[in-house]
Structure 1
Amino acid sequence: MESSFNLVAYILLLAAVTLSLISLWRPNKYTGTLALAALVLSFTSLTLALVLRSITGGRLPLATLYEFALLFAWGILLFYFISRKMIKSDLLMVLVALLEVIILSYSNTLSSGTRPLMPALQSIWLQFHVLTAIIAYGAFGLSFCLGLIYLLKEKGYDSIGESILPPLAKIDNLLHWSVAVGFPFMTLVLITGAVWAEEVWGRWWGWDPKETWALITWLIYAAYLHARKTYGWRGKRAAIMAIVGFLAVLFTLFGVSLLLPGAHSYV
């Protein structure tokens, strides 16, 4: 049953990509509305899949790379819907839907089987650690898409229309908002991870590859916020930093798990 909801979510995301691209090519209220409806239904289906996985597994779906990929996609969609209160951009919808398709396509290559939690994962700190990561990475995923849009707008595609490429100041402000929301939760990711590590392995920090890359990610976003507040960094440089930060997020989540063995190899 859970896999059926995942499949439905994936198909709906593909539909959202197709419809939103059509809306970009030939703007009209119907295709844009249908694309948004497909995203909402995909989010609902993904939510149901996660709930069912929790029920059948007897635990929250926070322990495997497959589960986190689903939660990651869920978090990005959540922040996209929140962002629509500030910006309604057809291009942002396309980029978010494409990012979702990529994440769920990757999740389909991972083992989706449920298994009993190993001792290292039987901690309340795991739940805090992963839940704060969902919020942080969801916000950073939105900032990544906004950074790409900013660079396109900055290149001079002003004639396309505000519904596709909003004003630069609007994009920049929402990008900053998404990083400012995500950063405190990224800080909590490091703190809860350290407490969890001390409880399980008897040390706060061990320079495990995933710990190290999580710290690198934190430093990138800290630099972004510091540069904006201290030196007034906005615009293109800020957009590039947001993009680089999210690439670090992706490597931390998926690249490290695949390429660099360490204490997090089980996720």
Structure 2
Amino acid sequence: MNWLDISSTAFIIAFFLYCAAFIFYAVAIGGKRWSNRDPEAHNRRWGRIAFATAILGWAAHLTFFFTRWAGGGHIPTSNMYEFMTFLAMAIMFAFIIVHLIYKNNLLGAFALPLVVIIVAYASVFPSEVQPLIPALNNYWLKIHVTTAATGEAFFAVGFAAALVQLLRVVDFSRTDKKGRREQRWTEFVLFFMVIIVGFLVAVFGFRAGGYEAKFQQESVSIDQQGVEHSKVQTVEYGLPPIVKPYNSEKLSMDAFLGMKEPLFEAPSWMNGVNAGRKLNTVIWSVLSGLILYAVLRLISRKPLAARIHPYLGDIDPEDLDEISYRAIAIGFPIFTLGALIFAMIWAQIAWSRFWGWDPKEVWALITWLFYSAYLHLRLSRGWQGTRSAWLAVIGFLVVLFTLIGVNLVIAGLHSYAGA
């Protein structure tokens, strides 16, 4: 039995079931406004269908996880592809728990797109099973990564509820300075999510077209004895190279919109053979996101947040506030154990020190401190409602940077994410 083939099939099934569940949740929420007979019955019926579909998707995702574990010989959390797929599965687990407690269909309409985006983002990375490097070949990997991801998953559900809350309570008819500021920042959060979707559209679009560019880069390093060492490496691009690697020459490059040469070179202070490619990816993400956002704005003919706002009029923002807080309160101790305590134990075993100020360690600490401040302000200072929702949203943006920015942009001991 080929476990990896079963795993790949289960992963595809899970993705499409998640997409279907999101559509059903959208029908439950949006169709409620158009149902003339019994809007509440319509919401409950389609909500049950959506939740059942989401459960089936999660079952397929579990099948992917365990069959990949059986076929690969180790828990599939060792690279960026495996970790992001596990995170998506953990977010679904957190969503199921919170949904069973509060039974709020609107949460599914925002949590499922987040899962779909993360699953699609995971598919950007190489999916081949890779042998474990020595630092990862330890059972503390299983404990550290799974608990940290589970904590982040509950933060994601808290983010989804908080974002819905903001879209519900922000008054888009206000023209005063404070009102416009709230509208702009709410729109910016949606724009940030569109940027991620734009990145996925660009990557899969050029991948489907078979785009490729290659550069040869020479790097020089000096060891402790003052001896120079020269190293030549090949860097492959899957997106048209607006930025080429520093101190490199072109080996091959497919033309794109008349562009046959990169527009400029990565700065010398950007370390690493892949620094230019990463900067190029960031530029393409922003460009694709801007184009996608412009198209959505043309379709909606108003800010996206203002377009969504009318559909949330019958939702109690206090319920969303409670859901967001409870999800974060559940995730915080799990994240504390996984991202700090268990991580320190693993670091001592892998690198013979509990703490080394590695970028991933620093940002995990920043994330923990931020959510500590959130809980302190919530419990001790009475921060509820809009202020609490903004903290939940900002906190998850910090989590996303820790997962994406630190792994892919900042070089460190955790830079084993895959090309």
TM-score range, shorter-chain basis?
over 0.9
Q: Which amino acid aligns with 1:47?
A: L
Is 2:52 aligned against 1:8? Answer: no
Q: Relative to total residues, which structure has the larger strand share, 1 or 2? A: 2
Query: Superposition pairs for residues 220-259 of structure 1, below 5 Å?
Result: 220-259=370-409
Q: Which amino acid aligns with 1:237?
A: R
Is 2:230 aligned against 1:215? Answer: no
Query: Superposition pairs for residues 1-267 of structure 1, below 5 Å?
Result: 1-27=6-32, 28=42, 29-155=44-170, 160=312, 162=314, 165=315, 167-188=316-337, 189-267=339-417
Asked if structure 1 preserves the Cα contact closer than 8 Å seen for 2:86 and 2:149, the reply is yes
Q: What is the rounded CA distance, in whole Å, between the counterparts of 1:120 and 1:198 in structure 2?
A: 10
Shift in Å, 1:212: 1.0
Q: Secondary structure at the match of 1:86?
A: helix
Shift in Å, 1:125: 1.6
Unaligned runs of 5+ in 2: 1-5, 33-41, 172-308
Q: Secondary structure at the match of 1:190?
A: helix
Q: What is the rounded CA distance, in whole Å, between the counterparts of 1:87 and 1:160 in structure 2?
A: 17
Q: What is the rounded CA distance, in whole Å, between the counterparts of 1:32 and 1:135 in structure 2?
A: 25
Q: What is the rounded CA distance, in whole Å, between the counterparts of 1:158 and 1:115 in structure 2?
A: 48
Q: Which amino acid aligns with 2:359?
A: P
Q: Secondary structure at the match of 1:85?
A: helix
Asked if structure 1 preserves the Cα contact closer than 8 Å seen for 2:28 and 2:105, the reply is yes
When residues 243 and 159 of structure 1 are mapped into structure 2, their CA distance, relative to the original with a 3 A threshold, is closer
Shift in Å, 1:22: 2.0
When residues 159 and 32 of structure 1 are mapped into structure 2, their CA distance, relative to the original with a 3 A threshold, is closer
Asked if structure 1 preserves the Cα contact closer than 8 Å seen for 2:29 and 2:311, the reply is no
Q: What is the rounded CA distance, in whole Å, between the counterparts of 2:99 and 2:148 in structure 1?
A: 22
Q: Secondary structure at the match of 1:239?
A: helix
Shift in Å, 1:148: 0.7
Shift in Å, 1:159: 8.2
Q: Which amino acid aligns with 1:120?
A: A
Shift in Å, 1:248: 1.0
Shift in Å, 1:34: 2.3
Which structure has the larger Rg? 2
Q: Which amino acid aligns with 1:194?
A: M
Shift in Å, 1:83: 1.1
Shift in Å, 1:155: 2.7
Asked if structure 2 preserves the Cα contact closer than 8 Å seen for 1:24 and 1:91, the reply is yes
Shift in Å, 1:133: 1.0
* Number of corresponding residues: 264
Q: What is the rounded CA distance, in whole Å, between the counterparts of 2:331 and 2:347 in structure 1?
A: 22
Instruction: Give per-residue Cα distances to partners, 1:176-196, cap 9 Å, x unaligned.
Output: 111111111221121111121
Shift in Å, 1:161: 6.1
Q: Which amino acid aligns with 2:352?
A: G
Q: What is the rounded CA distance, in whole Å, between the counterparts of 2:312 and 2:411 in structure 1?
A: 46
Q: Secondary structure at the match of 2:131?
A: coil
Shift in Å, 1:87: 2.1
Q: Relative to total residues, which structure has the larger helix share, 1 or 2? A: 1
Instruction: Give per-residue Cα distances to partners, 1:154-176, cap 9 Å, x unaligned.
Output: 236698565xx2x2322222211
When residues 158 and 17 of structure 1 are mapped into structure 2, their CA distance, relative to the original with a 3 A threshold, is closer
Q: Which amino acid aligns with 1:199?
A: I
When residues 159 and 115 of structure 1 are mapped into structure 2, their CA distance, relative to the original with a 3 A threshold, is closer
Q: What is the rounded CA distance, in whole Å, between the counterparts of 1:119 and 1:155 in structure 2?
A: 50
Unaligned runs of 5+ in 1: none
Q: What is the rounded CA distance, in whole Å, between the counterparts of 1:55 and 1:126 in structure 2?
A: 17
Asked if structure 2 preserves the Cα contact closer than 8 Å seen for 1:86 and 1:174, the reply is no
Instruction: Give per-residue Cα distances to partners, 1:192-228, cap 9 Å, x unaligned.
Output: 1112112111221111111111111111100000111
Q: What is the rounded CA distance, in whole Å, between the counterparts of 1:49 and 1:230 in structure 2?
A: 43
Q: What is the rounded CA distance, in whole Å, between the counterparts of 2:366 and 2:388 in structure 1?
A: 17
Q: What is the rounded CA distance, in whole Å, between the counterparts of 1:63 and 1:202 in structure 2?
A: 20
TM-score (norm 1): 0.93
